[in-house]
Homo-oligomer: A and B are copies of this chain.
Amino acid sequence: MTDVLLQVSDGRMRAVIENVTPSVDGGRFAAKRIVGDLVLVEADCFTDGHDSLACRLLWRLEDETAWSEAEMVPMGNDRWRGSFTAECVGRYRYTVTAWVDHFLSWRHDFARRVDGDDLRSAALVGAILIDGAAGRAKGKERTQLKGWATRLRSASDVLVLRALGLDEELAAVAARFPDRSLAATFPVEHPLVVDRLRARFSAWYELFPRSAATESGRHGTFRDCEARLPEIAKMGFDVLYFPPIHPIGRINRKGANNTLVTGPDSVGSPWAIGSAEGGHMSLHSELGTIEDFRQLVTHAQTHGMEIAMDIAFQCAPDHPYVTAHPEWFKWRPDGTVQYAENPPKKYQDIFPFEFESDDWRGLWQELANVIRYWANEGVRIFRIDNPHTKPFPFWEWAISEIKRDYPDTLFLAEAFTRPKVMHRLAKLGFSQSYTYFAWRNTKHELVEYFSELTHGEGREYFRPNAWPNTPDILNEYLQFGGRPAFIVRLVLAATLAASYGIYGPSYELTEATPLKPDTEDYLDSEKYQIRTWNREAPQSLSSLIAHVNRARRDNPALQSDATLRFFPVDNDNLLCYTKSDQAHENLVVIVVNLDPHHVQSGWIDLDLEALGIDTKTPYQMHDLLSGARFLWSGPRNFVQLDPQRAPAHIFAVRRKVRTEHNFDYFL
Contacts and interface: CB of A to CB of B under 8 A. Distances in A.
A136 interface: no
Nearest to A457: B19
A86 to B, nearest CB: 23
Given A11-B397, A397-B5, A124 B418 contact: no
Given A18-B25, A343-B112, A390 B48 contact: yes
B44 A420 contact: yes
A342 B50 contact: yes
Given A389-B48, A401-B2, A77 B419 contact: yes
A401 B8 CA distance: 13
A22 to B, nearest CB: 14
Contacts of A424: 16, 18, 46
B421 A356 contact: no
B50 A343 contact: yes
A455 interface: no
A121 B332 contact: yes
Given A16-B424, A18-B25, A418 B4 contact: no
Interface string A391-415: 1111001001100000000000000
Contacts of A128: 333
Given A18-B25, A393-B11, A388 B48 contact: yes
B361 A49 contact: no
Contact of A397 (B4, B12, B357, B361): B4
Interface in A43-67: 44, 46-50
A39 to B, nearest CB: 21
Contacts of A389: 48-50
A361 B25 contact: no
Interface in A347-381: 355-357, 360-361, 364-365
Given A78-B418, A121-B334, A419-B77, A361 B11 contact: yes
Given A48-B392, A391-B11, A4 B401 contact: yes
A612 interface: no
A8 B391 CA distance: 12
A418 B46 contact: yes
A14 interface: yes
A488 B364 CA distance: 68
Nearest to A16: B392
A124 B332 contact: yes
B418 A77 contact: yes
Contacts of A394: 11
Nearest to A398: B5
Contacts of A16: 392, 424
A361 B2 contact: no
Contacts of A397: 4-5, 8, 11
A401 B125 CA distance: 35
A147 interface: no
B8 A420 contact: no
A182 interface: yes
Interface in A1-15: 1-2, 4-5, 8, 11-14
A285 to B, nearest CB: 32
A336 interface: yes
Interface string A630-651: 0000000000000000000000
Q: Which of A49, A364, A419 has the most chain B CB within a 10 Å cutoff?
A: A49
Contact of A18 (B112, B391, B418, B420): B420
A65 B389 CA distance: 36
Contact of A391 (B48, B121, B342): B48
A26 interface: yes
Nearest to A118: B338
10 contacts: A5-B365, A11-B355, A12-B355, A12-B356, A25-B26, A48-B388, A50-B342, A78-B421, A112-B343, A121-B336
Nearest 5 CB-CB pairings of A with B:
A26-B26, A124-B333, A49-B389, A78-B420, A11-B360
